[in-house]
Structure 1
Amino acid sequence: MVTIVSSFVWILMFRTCYNLCFPAKNDVVTNISSSSQSTVPKNLSNLTQILDLSENNIIGIHMQDFAFFHQLKSLNLSFNKIRNLAAATFRSNQELECLDLSMNELVNIECHFLLSVTSLKYLDISYNNFLSLTLGKAFSFLKDLEYLRLGSRKTIKLQKNDLEPISGKHLQEVSVGLKTLSEYEPGTLQVLRTAKLHIVLPSINYANLLERVMYDAFNISDTLKLSGIDCCQNCSEKLSNIDCCQYCSLITSSRGCCRHCNRYINSFKMLDKFSKVTNLSLQYLTLDWNAFESISEIIWSSMVKNLNIFNVKICQVTPFILGHLETTLKTFAVRQIDVVPFYVNQSVIYHFFDVIKAENLMVCESGMIFMTCPNKGNTYKLIDLSDNSVTSDFLFQDCQTLNSLETLILQQNKLGQLFEVSNMTKYMKTLKHLDVSQNQLILDEIRVCPWTNSLTKLNLSSNRLTDSVFTCLPSNVEVLDVQKNDIFSVPKMLNNLNMLKELYLGTNKLANLPDCSKFINLEILFVEANAFHEPSSSFLQSCQRLTVLNAASNPFTCTCNLRDFSRMKENTHIEMIGWPKSYRCAYPDNLKGTLLEDIHLSEVTCSTTLLLVIVLGSMIALTIVIGLMCHFLDLPWYLRMIWQWTQMKRRTMKTDSHQLSENLVYHAFVSYSQHDSSWVKEQLLPNLEEKGSPLRICLHERNFIPGKGIIENIINCIDKSYKSIFVLSPNFIQSEWCHYELYFAQHQVLNEQSDNLILIVLEPIPQYLIPSKYYKLKSLMAKKTYLEWPSDKNKQRLFWANLQATIGINLTAPSEEFFCVNTDQ
């Protein structure tokens, strides 16, 4: 009996659904697999198109379980405990195209429920409890059926009429599990019309059935897959901790437990030159090395062109000399070959691969640590040694027989030195594509690497290479992949890679985009997930032929330097991979996470020239406006007066009235020429004594004390006045007494170190008109700010405000008020 473990292995390995079973982009998917459901949930959306209920504990399906799923296209009920389905179960699911009922407990293979779903394209009912594989008439109504999986866990018989309902259908693929087959009528499988056939072979206990099944299988389709070749079945030894294959690897007898291999070898002898098979896959094999080589030799002598062997367990390895064969084999692929014996004569295995003459050789996931240089006459165009343990120390070194090799794949091995890898290729004159990704490659010193000149595509991704890798590259390379390394920058001093068209630098540590001046023909550039903030402004200028750029997932700094780059999608023909969702600001913090396309920096902010033009233009315009204002509105006068008023106010506020002399009686002593008396009486006195805060003004004609000398009165009035106002005009210059008053007032200023003089220019006085004896007046007018009497009435209000601010301070009220005025004699 077949164990449940082997059943699971088989069904999991070949549950390769047709593409329609996978959700399309806009399909509504509901996945409730592995959720311990015992019934179909009732709260599912009736818009569901893809429904997965696999790996649950569902026993029964009711009539209404799927009644509301009118748009259901794919239904997966595998790995449950379903025993029966009513004929009307899927009558509401007219759109159903994919149905998986494998690994359940169905007994009736009549499958009347199929009458309701005639649009099915994919149907899997393998590994149920069918007592036979006699298909019901319902299968004949599946007009669109393309993929069919059959099989049972129970012992079954197979006869010609069993598959009659599908005999006229041209299917894409049919899989039939015959592991439990107990009786077989020759020619039964040949009623099938399918492009691909998969057979799980019967147990070795039924050797005659094995030969009949394989004979029919070889004459049905050009693509055949055979599973379940096990020479170690029914091992006589009772083992507790290890399986038969492990036990066989320990005994010395070459025909130990794998004594049934000859039956399989004899069955393969029916694969003669008249069979239809050109593409053959053998999966899940357990046999000894001799049987493996014998079966391979038979296949090579047939019309098979592509041989794929997957998941092989070798129980014994004994010397077996395989001669050189002339074959028509195009592809020989071995994946997951497991040699169980720990100590093995490696030369036996290497000799096997040495004699193979195929165009494509693939030995993957098999623990290979070495591969010999093949003998002359090989026809290899492709060698794939991915997922092994190969090192570069001796692999194909000085190998001169790979004269036809075009593609060499050494992905995911243990290669260490890039120089050794380049040295390996120097005799491979036709090599175009080399893949050494996912290794441990380094370049420990900068030196010339002897690559073959024919190499155009090189994959060095996922290694430990640094910037120095650019000194060790083939000169004719067109496609270079150095993603996922430790590259910080592309050196500026490197040999020109004029042929390079595609460069992949993603997931490194680049601080800036590379300069394309060394890659003048570069068309595709990938620099995603690096560390650059602001792509250089010269990048676009140097990459004139670039058509595709992937710079996503970098920490962009969104400043003016990034403006041209962020507009690349709009302003160039370059296709931006990942735009816009994968291009976001990382700095500054206030823009972190913002899409680059949403950052709008103005032309003024980012253009120094434009900003300078605007600033200079504004300054020129302001200068013109100020000039016009100065010309028509006398703006300088207003500014000067406002400045004087501000300064005077500030000084007045700083003056402490308690610190003033107790002798002060008047706010100001006024000195003027008698010829200007009308202005003093009509303008000066009314504006200072009557308006605003009244001031006490000392005038000669009012406050000089009779009987005292004029000089004494002048000195007395100046001493008792806070300020001395001098009304300057050409008349003032001709007055001797005014000169005396000015002299005494200036003398007081020097003695007390105060600033009590106020000069009012009533009429302009040119310097050359002032006599030389008035040198003190000249000095004062040159050093001291004076007030000009404006003839414009609009300006006079500011003049009086300015004058009042100069002398507006609080004085103690005198016991006897008197006023003092001096006029020229």
Structure 2
Amino acid sequence: MKVTNSHQFKQPTCTMAERRSSITNNFLSAFILTITFWTNIQSSMEHGLTTDYSGRYLVAIPNNIPAHRTVLDLSHNNISELQISDFRSLSKLQTLLLSYNLIRVLNLSVFQYNKDLQHLDVSHNNLQTLSCYPISSLRHLDLSYNNYAAMLLCTKFGKMLNLEYLGLSIRRMQKSDFSVLAHLQLDTLFLGLEDLSEYSSGNLPVFNAKSLQIALPQNTDLHVLLDLELSATKRLQLSKIQEKHINDLRTFLSNLNKHSTLRNLTLNNMQCNWDGFIDILQSVWESTTEYFVISNVPPLEVPNTMHFNQTATSIKALAIKQIPFTTFLSAPTNMYEMFANMNIAALTISDAGLIHMLCPSKFSNFTYLCFSNNSLTDTVFKKCNNLTLLETLILQSNQFKDLTEVSLMTTLMNSLKYLDMSKNLLWYNGNKCEWGENVVKLNLSSNVLSESVFRCLPVNIQMLDLQDNQISSVPMEIIELNYLEELNLASNKLTALPGCGHFRGLKLLNIENNSVLSQSSEFFQSCQNINILKGGHNPFMCSCELRRFINLEKQGSIELIGWPDFYVCEYPHHLKGTLLRDFHVSELVCNVKLLITVVLIITVVFLLAVSFVCIYFDIPWYLKTMWHWSQAKHRIWKSKPEDMLDSIQFHAFISYSEHDSDWVKNVLIPNLEKEDTSIRICQHERNFIAGKSIVENIIDCIEKSYKSIFVLSPNFVQSDWCHYELYFAHHKLFSGNADSLILILLEPIPSYVIPSRYHKLKALMAKRTYLEWPKEKSKHGLFWANLRAAIQIELPLSDEINEL
């Protein structure tokens, strides 16, 4: 498992492993420019600087291309002509792809305003004319597979000193055609000679490009290889090799002397039989070549006997790719022995149909082995003790099944550091696992492993890839992986973030494409050292539990790869499609303790406020009074509904304190009730009906009285019953919309003496005129006259008056 510069896990292949290995580092050096080019394109795409118009059936360059674009892909269209105006506004353009169009004439001056242009591909067009214009910034120019007969190069090409890659296709070849190349320090020169029709011996010059790629002519009578001389070339790639080319190729290889600079040789798309294959392999074996790749050969029938001389060789790495070895008519044992006993450092045999591989019969120098995309099984390298120098073993895409057997295979490989068992059928049966003590990188992706795999891992593992398996959780009982730094659990069945209790040194975790809904407290408690997390493409449940995970990016403690685009809410339904970055929920809603605390505080404050209001305004007393009043009204209506008539029987009801009863009985009542009985007074002592409650009697008397007289004094405000009577009389004042209250101030009442519950009395005394009992006798007559006038009214006679 390897992390790229963008911190993304990649599936290691034989090619990638070769790039990591110091021994095979030169295998892909011929493709450095191509890799760099596509890397730049990918980087530009990630930053939104690429415009792709490929395959649109365009006949002209679009005129609406944004000016800041750096990569423009116009390949696979029907464009036939280029104008300066097409590219004049694209001052930032670096890469232009025009392959597979119908361009006939190319004048490089159309790019005179594109000062940053580095990569130009006009291959597979109908070019017949090329007008030279030196583009000093150009590094990659591909003119191959066009319709020109003679070489289109001109002297001005020699001024493009930054040119590193040049692709050409030639029909007629003369040595003078390449004179301009002598001034260029090319890294790679590609010559497409498939359609070469005219060639004379000696017309092939000596190329000084570091890497030379030649597609050999299909006319086998043209012996180009016999004239091929290499002086500065270190890497040679020959493709489209027909069977009749084999002799020329063998001659070319035999002519390579010990002073040759050639170190990397690649033969691609070669037509031959087994004997031709062995002859070429033997020739390269005996040459000065150090890195040899042979690929894309039709199936080869392996004979029962073979002759291959395992002499000392300069080869350090051999790669045999996409060459199926068939054994329908033979036993492949000799072939296995030949490959197993090669005294070289690195061997790759991929896509060859191998069903087995033998252990070397003696101590081997192999440090790198790759047998990917074959049919190898668990029986490979059992008890193999001659691979003690092996550091990298890639067995990707085979038929391995038992993880225990795989672990036992590594026990005698004392130097093994990296093992790739991806894309097999591996599962763990629970048996004891024994791994090589130096295995630190292990790729078990794309198998059928469950969470039990954590009980069968190398104890010193540092990088572990378990992508695309059947893992639903990380068990609590697993071996301690104290050195594990990178863990890939992408594309499994995880439903929550895993804990790191058994690998607390973990720094990089990939859980992308799982079923993770929420976080787990164990993750935050045990995964303190993680600084890179790739967790996108999961169906997140956007709830309170996810807030801590969302805060990881804000706090900067963990770098979330793909944030925010790949982190989207899936549940609940109304939040589906919402970016986690845009999901917000209050701390109060999520923190139960805080919520309870706030509710308790609000409740306490509310109760205190209610208590204060109740105490200040004597609300309990009013509630009690309303209860008594409603109960009394209900009983009166229920027992004597006829008493609810509107008839008035008394001129006035007198409310007073018992402490003022002497003045009321001896002064007030006698002066109001004369012998003519013109005024009838309702007094509780003589008019309350026995058997009724006091409240019922008060209500009954107030409703049967035209006026209610209140004798006010400090004693009055101290009486609860006086308060009741005042409350009910005030209620009648509003319900009846009548001026039925008469206030007599018997003695002055200081405001501080009046209790808070008598706020209605305060309001009445402030707003209404009251009669004040004069101390001077001379004013008594006027007092009685005013009082009698206030209550004087004609009342109907009643038979019950005397009884009351």
Pair 602,579 (structure 1): closer, same or farther in 2 beyond 3 Å: same
Q: Which amino acid aligns with 2:563?
A: W
Name which of 53, 73, 82 aligns with 1:32: 53
Question: CA offsets, 1:702-737, max 9 Å, x none?
Answer: 76xxxxxxxxxx87x76899933599xxxxxxxxxx
Cα distance in 2 for residues equivalent to 1:684 and 1:588: 80
Name which of 201, 226, 234 aligns with 2:238: 226
Map of 2:697 onto structure 1: 724
Q: Which amino acid aligns with 2:169?
A: G
Map of 1:514 onto structure 2: 498
> Structure 1 residue 585: deviation in Å?
3.5
Matches within 5 A, 1:89-104: 89-104=110-125
Find out whether 1:201 has 2:201 as its counterpart: no
> Structure 1 residue 798: deviation in Å?
5.8
Find out whether 1:133 has 2:179 as its counterpart: no
Matches within 5 A, 1:152-191: 152=170, 154=171, 156-159=172-175, 161-179=176-194, 180=196, 182-186=198-202, 188-190=204-206
Pair 370,684 (structure 1): closer, same or farther in 2 beyond 3 Å: farther
Pair 17,565 (structure 1): closer, same or farther in 2 beyond 3 Å: closer
What secondary structure, in the 3-state scheme, does the structure 2 residue paired with 1:567 have? Answer: helix
What secondary structure, in the 3-state scheme, does the structure 1 residue paired with 2:209 have? Answer: strand
Map of 1:321 onto structure 2: 307
Pair 646,397 (structure 1): closer, same or farther in 2 beyond 3 Å: farther
Contact 1:664 1:719 in 2 (8 A): no
Map of 1:360 onto structure 2: 346
> Structure 1 residue 536: deviation in Å?
2.4
> Structure 1 residue 48: deviation in Å?
5.2
Pair 33,664 (structure 1): closer, same or farther in 2 beyond 3 Å: closer
Map of 2:787 onto structure 1: none
> Structure 1 residue 197: deviation in Å?
1.0
What secondary structure, in the 3-state scheme, does the structure 2 residue paired with 1:644 have? Answer: helix
Find out whether 1:816 has 2:778 as its counterpart: no
What secondary structure, in the 3-state scheme, does the structure 2 residue paired with 1:170 have? Answer: coil
Question: CA offsets, 1:350-384, max 9 Å, x none?
Answer: 23312322211111223322222222132111111
What secondary structure, in the 3-state scheme, does the structure 1 residue paired with 2:337 have? Answer: helix
Cα distance in 2 for residues equivalent to 1:620 and 1:684: 52
Q: Which range is displaced more, 420-429 or 347-356?
A: 347-356
TM-score by length of 2: 0.74
Q: Which amino acid aligns with 2:103?
A: I
Contact 1:204 1:210 in 2 (8 A): no
Matches within 5 A, 1:288-299: 288-299=273-284
Question: CA offsets, 1:199-249, max 9 Å, x none?
Answer: 222447336443222xx14x4411111112210x6xxxxxxxxxxxxxxxx
Cα distance in 2 for residues equivalent to 1:31 and 1:193: 36
What secondary structure, in the 3-state scheme, does the structure 1 residue paired with 2:133 have? Answer: helix
Name which of 528, 534, 537 aligns with 2:521: 537
Question: CA offsets, 1:280-319, max 9 Å, x none?
Answer: 1111111011111121122122221111112122455433
Map of 1:56 onto structure 2: 77
Cα distance in 2 for residues equivalent to 1:302 and 1:146: 28
Contact 2:166 2:188 in 1 (8 A): yes
Cα distance in 1 for residues equivalent to 2:432 and 2:638: 96
Cα distance in 1 for residues equivalent to 2:274 and 2:461: 42
> Structure 1 residue 489: deviation in Å?
1.3
> Structure 1 residue 62: deviation in Å?
5.8
Cα distance in 2 for residues equivalent to 1:629 and 1:645: 17
Map of 2:288 onto structure 1: 303
Map of 2:323 onto structure 1: 337
Unaligned runs of 5+ in 1: 1-12, 234-259, 686-695, 704-713, 728-758, 765-789, 802-812
> Structure 1 residue 504: deviation in Å?
1.7
Q: Which range is displaced more, 168-177 or 610-619?
A: 610-619
Q: Which range is displaced more, 260-269 or 219-228?
A: 260-269
Find out whether 1:647 has 2:627 as its counterpart: yes
Q: Which range is displaced more, 282-291 or 421-430?
A: 421-430
Contact 2:199 2:222 in 1 (8 A): no
Contact 1:48 1:71 in 2 (8 A): yes
Name which of 450, 462, 475 aligns with 1:466: 450
Cα distance in 2 for residues equivalent to 1:50 and 1:535: 41
Cα distance in 2 for residues equivalent to 1:80 and 1:292: 38
What secondary structure, in the 3-state scheme, does the structure 2 residue paired with 1:272 have? Answer: coil
Q: Which range is displaced more, 546-555 or 193-202?
A: 546-555
Contact 1:667 1:723 in 2 (8 A): no
What secondary structure, in the 3-state scheme, does the structure 1 residue paired with 2:696 have? Answer: strand
Q: Which amino acid aligns with 1:221?
A: T
Question: CA offsets, 1:309-331, max 9 Å, x none?
Answer: 12122455433221322223221
Matches within 5 A, 1:551-562: 551-562=535-546
Q: Which amino acid aligns with 1:792?
A: I
Cα distance in 1 for residues equivalent to 2:545 and 2:86: 62
Q: Which range is displaced more, 338-347 or 542-551?
A: 338-347
Pair 819,390 (structure 1): closer, same or farther in 2 beyond 3 Å: farther
Cα distance in 2 for residues equivalent to 1:614 and 1:324: 85
Find out whether 1:81 has 2:61 as its counterpart: no
Q: Which amino acid aligns with 2:482?
A: N
Map of 1:373 onto structure 2: 359
Pair 591,28 (structure 1): closer, same or farther in 2 beyond 3 Å: closer
Cα distance in 2 for residues equivalent to 1:683 and 1:183: 153
> Structure 1 residue 175: deviation in Å?
1.0
Pair 661,131 (structure 1): closer, same or farther in 2 beyond 3 Å: closer
Find out whether 1:424 has 2:409 as its counterpart: yes
Map of 1:792 onto structure 2: 754
Find out whether 1:563 has 2:547 as its counterpart: yes
Cα distance in 2 for residues equivalent to 1:531 and 1:433: 30
Find out whether 1:148 has 2:166 as its counterpart: yes
What secondary structure, in the 3-state scheme, does the structure 2 residue paired with 1:291 have? Answer: helix
> Structure 1 residue 492: deviation in Å?
0.8
Contact 1:698 1:820 in 2 (8 A): no
Q: Which amino acid aligns with 1:132?
A: A
Name which of 385, 394, 397 aligns with 1:409: 394
> Structure 1 residue 565: deviation in Å?
3.0
> Structure 1 residue 30: deviation in Å?
3.7
Cα distance in 2 for residues equivalent to 1:210 and 1:283: 15
What secondary structure, in the 3-state scheme, does the structure 2 residue paired with 1:81 have? Answer: coil
Cα distance in 2 for residues equivalent to 1:337 and 1:69: 46
What secondary structure, in the 3-state scheme, does the structure 1 residue paired with 2:210 have? Answer: strand
> Structure 1 residue 469: deviation in Å?
0.9
Cα distance in 2 for residues equivalent to 1:410 and 1:145: 40
Q: How many residues align?
A: 679
Pair 821,760 (structure 1): closer, same or farther in 2 beyond 3 Å: farther
TM-score by length of 1: 0.72
Cα distance in 1 for residues equivalent to 2:510 and 2:666: 91
What secondary structure, in the 3-state scheme, does the structure 1 residue paired with 2:186 have? Answer: strand
Cα distance in 1 for residues equivalent to 2:561 and 2:361: 46
Cα distance in 2 for residues equivalent to 1:340 and 1:683: 140
Measured on the aligned residues, the alpha-carbon RMSD in Å equals 4.2
Cα distance in 2 for residues equivalent to 1:63 and 1:548: 47
Q: Which amino acid aligns with 1:474?
A: P
Cα distance in 1 for residues equivalent to 2:432 and 2:141: 59
